[in-house]
Amino acid sequence: MIEFKSTRELDYMRLQGTKIISLEHYEFEDLELWYPIYRLREEGAIVHLAGEEAGKEYIGEYGVPAQSEYAYGDVKADNFDAILVPGGWAPDKIRRFPNVISLIQKMNASEKVIGQICHAGWVK
C-alpha cells in the first residue's frame, strides 16, 4: 500500500534548531515583528529578541508589547543563523546604534540570512 503525505507533513519544522535574533525598539510595526516570529517558531526556529536594553518592554505602533531578552551590544553574529529587523518607526532608532550596524555587517559578511521588512532597509 502506498502512503501519501501532505506537503505540510513533508515540510514540517524545516527550521528546527535555527537560531534567529530579531531587533526591536519603540514603535516597531506590530505585525512585521510578530507575524514573522510566529511563522519562524512554527517551523522550529528559536527566535530571540534584542533591544537597546535587555529585559525591557517595547511597545509597537499599535500597542502590542515585546520584551527584549538581549541588549544590542550583547548579540554576537556567531551565535545566530539569521537576523530579522521589522519595519515601522523602530528602524529609524535602531540604525543609530553602532553595535547594530556592526552586527548586520558581520552577518552579511558571513552570508547569513538578513530579513528586513519595510523601513528596516535603513538599518545597514
pLDDT in tens, 9-59: 556 788 999 999 999 999 999 999 999 999 999 999 999 999 999 999 999
The model's pLDDT over 63-122, given as tens digits with 9 standing for 90+, comes to 999 999 999 999 999 999 999 999 999 999 999 999 999 999 999 999 999 999 999 999
Q: What is the pLDDT of residue 13?
A: 80
In this structure, whether the domain defined by 17-122 belongs to CATH 3.40.50.800 is answered with no
**Domain segments of the chain: what residues?**
17-122
**Grid cell for residue 50:** 534584542
- The dihedral built from the CA positions of residue 56, 95, 119 and 15, taken in this order, carries a sign that is negative
| Set 52, 119, 120, 123: catalytic member | 119
119 is catalytic: yes
Q: Of 118, 120, 122, 123, which is the active-site residue?
A: 118
Contact 72, 23 (CB under 8 A): yes
